[in-house]
């Protein structure tokens, strides 16, 4: 049986915590898209682990698989595995031979292209994710399986690297000096990546992903499919072009692992929702509170938004720790956006949701949600929408119609988690029931704090 975990919003919904709780019953945890642009924190036996590529289940003794839909930076992979080993763990990580490899030139190009794009820049993580998926679609990528065969690796590099050099120097005007020169040097790349291939082979890490997983399922094992990022960052269903280059939605779970849609459809697809919104990067956000310079479109830091909105935004940002883990930059925040959630629930066919960060909103007098949008058409007409419009320009012309709920007080959240659903403050339950009713799915768990034990668990999808 499979359980697929999908981010319902813009990433950072707390998927790692859910994988951590439900993953205990899983034998295998698979990532199906993205690469080391993700970031999850796993707390296990009192130790905190920060991972960006290795599936979080590997910390807990599950087999962790990077599916064919992932893009793999072998340097990050081995750094993370080595660190886990140094800390006394024995992670069992497998990598799909069909997964594509992030090469150093992808990172260089990601950084430079972002600078060139100006207003169209998605604010990428500069890990080379987009350029690697571009090469995959352009049929000039290097796959994990190619690293195992020096002849094939050399042939691929000899074809693609001259093109990358030309792109770097002639289009982007990059000076190929020092480390940057090595990123475009066939011999250096060949030696480095051949060695990565030798290590992958020596440790028996590569698999034919779909076959490997199907055999496990046929043997009665439980498989968890772990999405990274979120629905509104999906390259088809998100806020294009301010998206990532893969499919965080449940369709990505089938293409990105080699398991059939019917196999995944027999299991559960759980949408992970944060009780409010946060966003790294630009693009429309109709329920945004206040703004963040450089990320909120047309935001003027001098005049700001209205003071109450800025104050609320700061409160939620501080309570929720909505600051970049590396840069410390504030993230954009906003009220929960129901059109965005309806879109996510349909796109992935959620069978249930988990709502996180309910404790973060505690202490507010009232809590709002964007129930629907009023969109101004180009002709100046107004239309009510209950889901997100297809183009980003239309989305930018949407104003949220807010509904107001009573706020809920602070509580002893550890006790609430222990005592269960009925122990949640009544107003919080009313808020959650509204969300579940609108999406027509049950709530399987509610996150009321950062720790794993601070979760009200109502259903175990593997049970």
Q: Which residues bind ligand IMP (CB under 6 A)?
A: 11-12, 37-39, 122-125, 127, 129-130, 228-229, 233, 242, 244-245, 280-281
- Which helix (H) or strand (E) segment is 366 a member of? strand 366-376
- Least distance between ligand IMP and beta carbon 48 (Å): 18
- Of 36 and 185, which CB lies nearer to ligand IMP in the complex structure? 36
Catalytic residue, from 20, 27, 36, 40: name it. Answer: 40
Nearest to 140 by CA among 113, 117, 167, 114: 167
Question: What is 150-195 written as a DSSP string?
Answer: HHHHHHHHHHHHHHHHHIIIIIS-----HHHHHTT-HHHHHHHHHH
Considering all CA atoms of the chain, what is the largest pairwise distance in Å, rounded to the nearest integer?
66
- Least distance between ligand IMP and beta carbon 417 (Å): 25
What whole-number distance in Å separates Cα of residue 161 and Cα of residue 185?
7
- Least distance between ligand IMP and beta carbon 356 (Å): 14
- Of 127 and 371, which CB lies nearer to ligand IMP in the complex structure? 127
Q: Calculate the CA 252 to chain-centre distance.
A: 12
- Of 66 and 207, which CB lies nearer to ligand IMP in the complex structure? 66
Q: How many other β-carbons are positioned within 10 Å of the β-carbon of residue 455?
A: 22
Residue 277 and residue 369 in contact, taking contact as beta carbons nearer than 8 Å: no
- Least distance between ligand IMP and beta carbon 191 (Å): 27
- Of 27 and 226, which CB lies nearer to ligand IMP in the complex structure? 226
Give the orientation angle of helix 74-86 with respect to helix 186-202, to 10 degrees: 40
What whole-number distance in Å separates Cα of residue 285 and Cα of residue 306?
16
Terminal Cα-to-Cα distance of the chain (whole angstroms): 10
- Least distance between ligand IMP and beta carbon 117 (Å): 11
- Of 36 and 268, which CB lies nearer to ligand IMP in the complex structure? 36
Strand ranges (DSSP E) for 52-122? 63-66, 71-72, 92-96, 100-101
Is 146 catalytic? The answer is no
CA atoms within 13 A on the CB side of 137: 7
Residue 327 and residue 417 in contact, taking contact as beta carbons nearer than 8 Å: no
What whole-number distance in Å separates Cα of residue 238 and Cα of residue 285?
12
- Can you say whether the dihedral through the CA atoms of 318, 324, 329, 331 is positive or negative? negative
Is 44 catalytic? The answer is no
Q: How many other β-carbons are positioned within 10 Å of the β-carbon of residue 166?
A: 11
- Of 102 and 157, which CB lies nearer to ligand IMP in the complex structure? 102
- Least distance between ligand IMP and beta carbon 77 (Å): 17
Q: For residue 290, give both structure tokens.
A: 């206040």
Q: Calculate the CA 353 to chain-centre distance.
A: 16
Residue 427 and residue 336 in contact, taking contact as beta carbons nearer than 8 Å: no
Among all residues, whose Cβ is closest to ligand IMP? 11
- Least distance between ligand IMP and beta carbon 395 (Å): 15
Residue 23 and residue 287 in contact, taking contact as beta carbons nearer than 8 Å: no
- Of 38 and 96, which CB lies nearer to ligand IMP in the complex structure? 38
- Least distance between ligand IMP and beta carbon 358 (Å): 20
Residue for token pair 């954009």 = 332
- φ and ψ at residue 181, rounded to 5 degrees: -65, -45
- Of 25 and 396, which CB lies nearer to ligand IMP in the complex structure? 396
Which residues are the active-site residues? 12, 40
């Amino acid at each position: 049986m499979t359980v697929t975990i999908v981010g319902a919003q813009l990433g950072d919904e707390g998927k790692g915590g859910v994988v951590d709780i439900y993953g205990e019953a899983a034998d295998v945890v698979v990532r199906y898209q993205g690469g080391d642009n993700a970031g999850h924190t796993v707390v296990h036996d009192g130790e905190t682990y920060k991972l960006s590529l290795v599936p979080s289940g590997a910390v807990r003794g599950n087999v962790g698989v990077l599916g064919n839909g992932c893009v793999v930076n072998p340097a990050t992979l081995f750094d993370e595995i080595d660190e886990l080993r140094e800390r006394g763990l024995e992670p069992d990580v497998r990598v799909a031979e069909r997964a594509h490899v992030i090469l150093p030139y992808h990172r260089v190009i990601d950084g430079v292209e972002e600078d060139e794009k100006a207003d169209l820049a998605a604010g990428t993580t500069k890990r080379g994710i987009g350029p690697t998926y571009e090469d995959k679609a352009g049929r000039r990528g290097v796959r994990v399986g190619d690293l195992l065969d020096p002849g094939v690796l050399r042939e691929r590099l000899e074809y693609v690297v001259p093109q990358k050099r030309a792109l770097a120097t002639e289009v982007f005007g990059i000076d190929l000096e020092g480390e940057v020169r090595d990123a475009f040097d066939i011999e250096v790349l060949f030696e480095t990546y051949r060695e990565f291939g030798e290590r992958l082979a020596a440790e028996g890490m590569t698999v034919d992903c779909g076959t490997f997983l199907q055999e496990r399922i046929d043997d009665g094992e439980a498989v968890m499919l772990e999405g990274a990022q979120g629905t509104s960052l999906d390259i088809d269903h998100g806020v294009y072009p301010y998206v990532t280059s893969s499919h965080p939605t449940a369709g990505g779970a089938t293409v990105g692992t080699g398991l059939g849609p019917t196999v995944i459809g027999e299991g559960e697809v759980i949408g992970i929702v944060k009780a409010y919104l946060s966003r790294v990067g630009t693009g429309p956000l109709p329920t945004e509170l206040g703004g963040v310079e450089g990320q909120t479109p047309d935001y003027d830091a001098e005049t700001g938004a209205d003071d109450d909105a800025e104050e609320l935004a700061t409160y939620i940002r501080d309570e929720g720790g909505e600051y970049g883990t590396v840069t410390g930059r504030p993230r954009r925040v906003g009220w929960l956006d129901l059109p965005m959630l309806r879109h996510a629930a349909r796109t992935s066919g959620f069978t249930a949701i988990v709502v996180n960060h309910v404790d973060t909103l505690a202490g507010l007098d009232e809590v709002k949600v964007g129930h629907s949008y009023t969109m101004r058409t180009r002709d100046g007409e107004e239309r009510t929408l209950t889901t997100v419009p297809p183009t980003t320009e239309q989305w930018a012309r949407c104003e949220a119609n807010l509904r107001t709920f009573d706020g809920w007080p602070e509580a002893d959240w550890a006790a609430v988690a222990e005592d269960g659903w009925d122990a949640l403050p009544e107003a919080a339950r009313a808020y959650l029931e509204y969300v579940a009713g609108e999406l027509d799915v049950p709530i399987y768990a509610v996150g009321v704090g950062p720790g794993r034990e601070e979760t009200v668990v109502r259903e175990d999808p593997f049970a």
